[in-house]
Structure 1
Amino acid sequence: MNMFFPRPSLHSLLVVVCFGNFAFGVARLPRDEVQTLADIAKTLGKTNWDFSGDADPCNNQKPWTDTNPAEGFEYGVTCNCAFASSTVCHITSIVMKAQDLPGTLPKEMARLRYLEEIDLTRNYLSGTIPPEWGSLSLVNISLLGNRLTGPIPKELGDINTLKHLDISMNNFSGELPRELGNLTLIESMLLNSNNFTGELPDTFGNLTTLKDFRVGDSHFSGQIPDFIKNWTNLEKLLIQASGLTGPIPSGISLLTKLTDLRITDLSEPEAHFPPLENMKGMKTLILRSCNITGQLPPYLRNMKNLKTLDLSFNNLTGEIPSRFVALAEVKYIFLTGNLLTGPVPTWTKKDV
């Protein structure tokens, strides 16, 4: 018997191919990553993620991601779905800001090999930073405003991709590990408001990509290190009530990109005003209670972008120079607690 099968048309072939892509080409998160995310949620105390059925944390919908969050309360799981010809997703970011999370930091994060960002800002998390995180290729870690304790694991120094580290406003303690000096791509390191002790490691002199460094409100010891002169890309430096002592090293003159300099509460010895004349872009200059002696340096009048000047509680002497009329547009000037003499200039808008 002769059988006849009609040759399929080009149109019918296209329909089959398109249907196949629609049915079988949808990018999905591997089941092992879904399970890892479930383990992470349990450790964090995240209770509103539903892992029943065919859960898809990469769908950019609630409860996985808030599509219209209030500022400071952002949360969500971000995925890269470009793997295996756009058929496989991997988690690249976990953000949980101000979600009242009561748990601990999950070591299970280390199983997410494509993870680049961990942001758990302003929660109630306790415990320590898992050393397992050191195996990841993270770019951003933010643990600001939790109840975390213990020393910083030296393994964080293995994350040579890290650009932003914010662990401020916690209860971390101990000395900073020298290995953090291996973070040669780091741009911001915010360590303020903790219970750190010891000196700043000399390996920090290697952190030449730093733009923002903060160590205020801690219990460090030793002088402000001279190696800060290596941080020539620095834009913001905060050393307020850090436990470090003076004087401010003269090498600070090399940090010409500084726009925000805040150093306070330095114990003896006394020192002259630091050389800041090359910092023409300075906007905030706070050198309060730093045992600075001598007269006000003339170069202050050349800081045309200055908005806040606080030199209070030092041992400054002499008069306020008449040429300082150039500072008339500075919004806040504080000179109280010094040994200044002469009349208050008429150009001042507020009590000085």
Structure 2
Amino acid sequence: MKKLQLHNKTYSKVLQMHCLGVALVLMVFCLPSPTSSCTEQEKDSLLRFLAELSQDGGLSASWQNGTDCCKWEGITCMQDGTVTPVLLPSKGLEGRISQSLGTLAGLQYLDLSHNLLSGGLPLELLSSSSIAILDVSFNQLNGTLHELPSSTPARPLQLQVLNISSNLFAGQFPSAIWKAMENLAALNASSNSFTGRITTQFCNSSPSFTLLNLRTNKFSGNIPQGLSDCSKLRVLRAGDNNLSRTLPDELFNATSFEYLSFANNDLHGVLDTANIVNLRNLITLDLGGNIFSGKIPDYIGQLKRLEEFHLNNNNMSGELPYALSNCTNLLTIDLKSNHFSGELAKVNFSNLPNLKTLDLYSNNLSGTVPKSIYSCSNLTALRLSTNHLHGQLSLRLGNLKYLSFLSLSKNNFTNITNALQILQSSKNLTAVFIGYNFWGEILAQDETIDGSGSLQVLDMQGCNFSGTIPVWILRATNLQMLILCGNRLTGPIPGWISSLRHLFYMDVSSNSLTGEIPLTLTEMPMLKSTDNATHLDSTVFELIVYNSPSLQYRMITSFPAVSNLGNNYLTGVIPPQIGQLKALAALDFSFNKLSGEIPQSVCNLTNLQVLDLSSNNLTGAIPVALNALHFISAFNISNNNLEGPIPYGGQFDTFQTSSFNGNPQLCDSVLTQKCNSAEAHQPVILSEKRADYKMAFVIAFSAFFGVGVLYDQLVLSRYFGKSY
């Protein structure tokens, strides 16, 4: 995460303007002279701060009592020796923040961000009459912010920028703080647990107030009506709270707004209000993740400066208005997961030359992809999946030279051969999702398709394709994820699969593949060593493609290493060399015709979280050493011809009996077939208590299955959730 979580340029510019403005002034007056030397009182205050740290990040090597503190690490003094900035971000500091820092009479800039500091925030810092910038973000500070003491000086506090984001603060934000902070211009209190209602008291007490970030807290109630009194407020972020009711009309009178976000709350109502035109300075409008309904008003076209428009995950409906074409500065349109209908051609995308992201996933849009979209030459991410679009891909797709993310899944597109030939002309494509289209067609084997050297993710699942796994995939030399499940592909798994040196996720399940498991499958470089994970490109997804209950991910490294060959017609034995694939998190060979024993080498797969060998013709005993695999949370060997006792101890104590059903010769105390005393005697690899393993199972299961459901039908077999 970047400092202050500045992912929007408007928000970033405003906060940086205040910080840099104050910092530049401080720099002019804080340049040390050759004769500057701090006072004993200030040295003592700093040493008391150091003494209260349990980990000082090496500061003690510099902060020596017998030396001039103006030369200490992170300390700068004015020419008279007064300590002004104390800048100690990302130093690995642990412990409490000493109130002694509040006695530094000339302290103007205190930065303790990105450390591991705990405890409360000393009131002496908030009530300081000299501090202009206070940044304690990204620590573990907790407790409540108390009211300022009655001894607070009557003169206004100098604090202009206060950043307490990404801590553990709770309770209500005390109103008395606002009264004393007449100069406050920017407050970032995001990612805490503050409660209560959002106050507008700062609008009156701090006339220069420009930026307020309350995102990811527990604020509740309605949006206060007094926001229109904030004549200079440019940035307001209050997403990811518990706000409810409708947007107050007064909100649209706050004409200075440039960034307005109430995403992921419980707001409702319609947006069809003419007052929205008052927000003519708006650059970012984010109302996603609420319960808004109705149509997008035509008035939206009068927001000429609008660059980011988010109405995703609401109950919006109707056609997309032509008026969007008038917002010529748009960079992002995010309307996914609504009920919009009609044809996309209603919007003239030719008027949006700066558009980079268009996300219309999961609506009811129909018709063909309009030609005007191909005029958006700066487009990097296009998602039209889960709609009712039809037709063939246009040759003009090649005009989108910067396109790296394309998702067309779950529509009614046709002519897969044409589509693949067109896609290869987009040389920057890294992620392509075209599954659940081209129903029943033959998967192209065209030798002229080069596979695109930039391609890292290819999803063509659920198309009912016939044919074989095409050799042109081999030429996608940077491919990392290959999803071909849910088709009718025949023939063997090609031996050249190991030539895809970056491939770590392969799902070819639910096809009609035949032959044996190729030995080359056990030579895949990305699956043989966990060290390879550091080489994955973490920016492959321009858009979020899946989420968990509390987090959202773009990083391809969030996906586990998977080999899923289930539900085919594979024969032969499981090769003993399978034990080389130590990076595997999920191995699924279920519903095939495999024979022979479960190789002992499977016990070497210490990262396995899912192992499914069910519904085959496997024989022999269950390897006892499998109970040493700590992380297995889903295990199934049912419907085989296995025999002998079921191992106990380790994760085996957590598996349901259904994991073993359909093996008449297996025995166990909980099965119908009981073991005799000789059979029951087996070595126990691990001896911890059963309760410990149940807890380990819960942790492993939660961690792995927290991956959740993929937006673009990228599912990790039946164990990992249903597709959207």
Q: TM-score range by the shorter chain?
A: 0.7 to 0.9
**Is 1:65 aligned to 2:336, yes or no?**
no
The alignment status of 1:334 with 2:636, answered yes or no, reads: yes
Q: Check conservation: 1:157, 1:179, Cα contact below 8 A.
A: no
- Say if 1:106 and 1:130, in contact at 8 Å, map to a contact too: no
Residue-by-residue CA offset, 1:7-31 (whole Å, 9 max, x unaligned):
xxxxxxxxxxxxxxxxxxxx9xxxx
2:406 pairs, out of 141, 144, 153, with 141
Per the normalisation by structure 1, the TM-score is 0.74
Is 1:295 matched up with 2:597?
Answer: yes
Q: Secondary structure at the match of 2:450?
A: helix
Q: Distance in 2 between matches of 1:298 and 1:328?
A: 16
**Of 316, 319, 328, the match for 1:47:** 319
2:52 aligned partner: none
Cα pair distance change 1:135/1:50, threshold 3 Å: closer
Could you tell me how far 1:290 is from its partner in structure 2? 2.7
Instruction: Report which structure shows greater RCO (CA 8 Å, sep ≥6).
Output: 1
**Structure 1 pair 344/276, CA: closer, same or farther in 2 (3 Å)?**
same
The change in CA–CA distance for 1:245 and 1:74 in structure 2 (over 3 A counts) is farther
Which of 384, 391, 400 matches 1:120? Answer: 384
- Distance (Å, rounded) in 1 between the aligned partners of 2:570 and 2:610: 25
> Larger helix proportion, structure 1 or 2?
2
Structure 2 CA distance for partners of 1:274 and 1:292, relative to 1, 3 Å = farther
**Post-superposition shift, 1:215?**
0.6
Deviation at 1:223, TM superposition (A): 1.4
**Aligned-residue offset at 1:210:** 0.9
Offset, 1:196: 1.8
Question: Structure 1: how far apart are the matches of 2:450 and 2:596?
Answer: 36
| 1:1-352 to 2 correspondences below 5 Å | 47-51=319-323, 55-59=326-330, 65-66=333-334, 90-137=354-401, 138-153=403-418, 154-172=421-439, 173-176=441-444, 177-258=446-527, 259-267=561-569, 269-273=571-575, 275-327=577-629, 329-347=631-649, 348=652, 349-350=654-655, 351=657, 352=660
Gaps of 5+ in 1: 1-26, 28-44, 80-87
**What is the DSSP-based 3-state SS (H/G/I as helix, E as strand, rest coil) of the residue aligned with 2:414?**
strand
* Letter paired with 2:359: V
- How far residue 268 of structure 1 moved from its aligned partner, in angstroms, is 5.2
Q: Deviations over 1:80-125 (max 9, x none)?
A: xxxxxxxx95222322111221222234433333322221121121
How far does residue 166 in structure 1 lie from its aligned partner after superposition? 0.4
Distance change in 2, residues 1:198/1:338 (3 Å): same
Which whole-Å CA distance do the structure 1 matches of 2:603 and 2:373 have between them?
51
CA contact (8 A) 1:128 1:150 kept: yes
State the TM-score, normalized to the length of structure 2: 0.38
Match of 1:31 in 2: none
Looking at structure 2, the residues matched to 290 and 206 of structure 1 have their Cα atoms a distance apart, in angstroms, of 29
How much identity, in percent, do the aligned residues show?
Answer: 23
Q: Is the 8 A contact 2:384 2:407 kept in 1?
A: yes
Report the count of equivalent residues: 293
- The Cα shift of 1:328 comes to 5.5
Rounded Cα–Cα distance in structure 2 between residues aligned with 1:146 and 1:298: 45
Cα displacement string for residues 183-204 of structure 1 (whole angstroms, at most 9, x for unaligned residues): 1111000001003222222222
- Post-superposition CA distance 1:135-183 (Å, at most 9, x none): 4322111012222233241222222211111011224422224444331
CA deviations 1:198-228 (Å, max 9, x no partner) are: 2222222122211110111112222111121
CA distance in 2, matches of 1:250, 1:74: 48
Matches of 1:299 and 1:74 in 2, distance apart? 51
Between structure 1 and structure 2, the one with the greater Rg is 2
**CA 1:248–1:346 in structure 2 vs 1: closer, same or farther (change >3 Å)?**
same
TM-align CA RMSD: 3.0
